[in-house]
Copies of this chain bind each other. A is one copy, B any other.
Amino acid sequence: MHIKPDSLFAALAHPLRLRAMQLLASEHELCVCELTHALAVAQPTISRHLALLREAGLVQDRRQGLWIYYRLNTQLPGWAQDAIRVVAAGIADDEPYARDRAELATMPNRPGARCCA
């Protein structure tokens, strides 16, 4: 898995994409509707940004029934994963990232794939 560093940074440079990455870093796997709820954006908006993250190689997706689950791409080079983790840990308690996690926790009827991951 090869990724150009400036492409990695470009993918992380958008506020909404960074918020999505922070949620994925804390939750390991989320479907689009969960991200839509937690980030309070229109579905096509998050879908387009997730597609960009996928094409940049930052996330992987898998379909399960109607839902498509996204997670951080485990095949990224070590330095890229380390950078993402370092930043995630460093800003986790800042806004809006902490609030996004709280919003996610309030979501009713989350599709539960977490039990068998």
Cα distance A70–B53 in the bound complex, in angstroms:
32
Contact B86 A90 (CB under 8 A): no
Instruction: Name A71-117 residues within 8 Å CB distance of B.
Output: 77-80, 82-83, 86-87, 89-91
| A14 CB within 8 Å of chain B | yes
Closest to A12 in B: B9
| Stoichiometry, copies per complex | 2
The distance in angstroms between the C-alpha atoms of A80 and B91, with both chains bound, is 10
Q: Which residues of B contact A79 (CB under 8 A)?
A: 86-87, 89-91
Is there contact, CB below 8 Å, between B6 and A12? yes
Q: Does A41 lie at the interface of the complex (its beta carbon under 8 Å from any beta carbon of B)?
A: no
Q: Does A44 contact B (CB under 8 A)?
A: no
Please report the C-alpha to C-alpha distance between residue A114 and residue B80 in the assembled complex, in whole angstroms: 31
A interface residues with partner B (beta carbon < 8 Å): 5-6, 9-10, 12-15, 18, 77-80, 82-83, 86-87, 89-91
Q: Give 6 closest A-B pairs by Cβ, nearest first.
A: A79-B90, A10-B13, A9-B12, A9-B13, A9-B9, A82-B86
